[in-house]
Amino acid sequence: MIYVPGLFIALIALWLALSGHGEAFMVGLAVVSVILSILLTMCLGLMGREASPYHRLVPMARYAVWLMGEIVKSNVAVLRTIIEPSARLRPRLAALDADGRSELATALFANSITLTPGTVTIEAARDGLLVHSLHDGADEQDEFAPMAARSLMAADGRG
């Protein structure tokens, strides 16, 4: 129940931002639809920490900034591989542990890997990920450890 006010505010803000309508009647319909959505979510037993976005705004913003830096670094590495004639591709598959993450943390980690050039998440499951990479690394777990820790902190508030 503690998450209801934050979820209500977040959904109303999202509706106002996406619709562009500010008339009283339309805002009233938005309020009614958001209330019905929240009630349905509560009746289905889906209300909880993962359904509420407002406690994650700052960690997610920090993670997004860090991830953009990693994407730029990976772009440079992939460009270097393409441009340099001596660079060789050494594609590999790596199995990564999910470390008991929530579904949100696993999805964030898998999507972050896919957004980073040179890597693609092939399969995501609750117990781990299967990742394809263009370059050989010393150890798969160590290579993805910073991203794993930061995505866990952003999604679940723990690292």
- pLDDT tens-digit series, residues 78-95: 888 888 877 777 888 888
User: Are both 45 and 63 inside the same structural domain?
Assistant: no
Domain end among 36, 51, 66: 51
Helix (H, G, I), strand (E, B) or coil at 96: strand
Residue 126: the pLDDT is: 76
User: Are both 120 and 148 inside the same structural domain?
Assistant: yes
Residue 5: the pLDDT is: 81
Q: Over range 142-155, report the average pLDDT.
A: 87
136 or 107: whose pLDDT is higher? 107
User: Are both 129 and 152 inside the same structural domain?
Assistant: yes
Residue-wise pLDDT for 94-104, tens only, equals 888 877 678 88
Domain extent, residue 33, equals 4-51
User: Are both 96 and 32 inside the same structural domain?
Assistant: no
Q: For the chain, what percent of residues have pLDDT higher than 90? A: 28
Contact at 8 Å (CB) between 38 and 48?
no
User: In whole angstroms, what is the distance from residue 71 CA to residue 78 CA?
Assistant: 10
Q: For the chain, what percent of residues have pLDDT higher than 70? A: 88
Q: Over range 65-87, report the average pLDDT.
A: 89
User: In whole angstroms, what is the distance from residue 97 CA to residue 125 CA?
Assistant: 10
User: Are both 45 and 60 inside the same structural domain?
Assistant: no
Residue 158: the pLDDT is: 66
The crossing angle, in degrees rounded to 10, of helices 4-19 and 24-43 is 140
User: Are both 101 and 115 inside the same structural domain?
Assistant: yes
For residue 136, the tally of other CB atoms under 10 A from its CB is 13
**27-41, 81-95, 129-143: lowest mean pLDDT where?**
129-143
**pLDDT class for 115, splitting at 50, 70, 90?**
very high
User: Are both 31 and 61 inside the same structural domain?
Assistant: no
For residue 13, the tally of other CB atoms under 10 A from its CB is 11
Kindly report the pTM of this predicted structure: 0.71
* Residue 119 clears pLDDT 60, i.e. is over it: yes
User: Are both 61 and 138 inside the same structural domain?
Assistant: yes
Q: Into how many domains does the chain fold?
A: 2
User: Are both 127 and 96 inside the same structural domain?
Assistant: yes
Q: What is the CA radius of gyration of the chain?
A: 20
Q: Over range 15-24, report the average pLDDT.
A: 88
User: Are both 76 and 135 inside the same structural domain?
Assistant: yes
User: Are both 77 and 145 inside the same structural domain?
Assistant: yes
User: Are both 120 and 78 inside the same structural domain?
Assistant: yes
User: In whole angstroms, what is the distance from residue 91 CA to residue 103 CA?
Assistant: 28
Residue 139: the pLDDT is: 60
Residue 140 CA neighbour count, 13 Å, CB half: 17
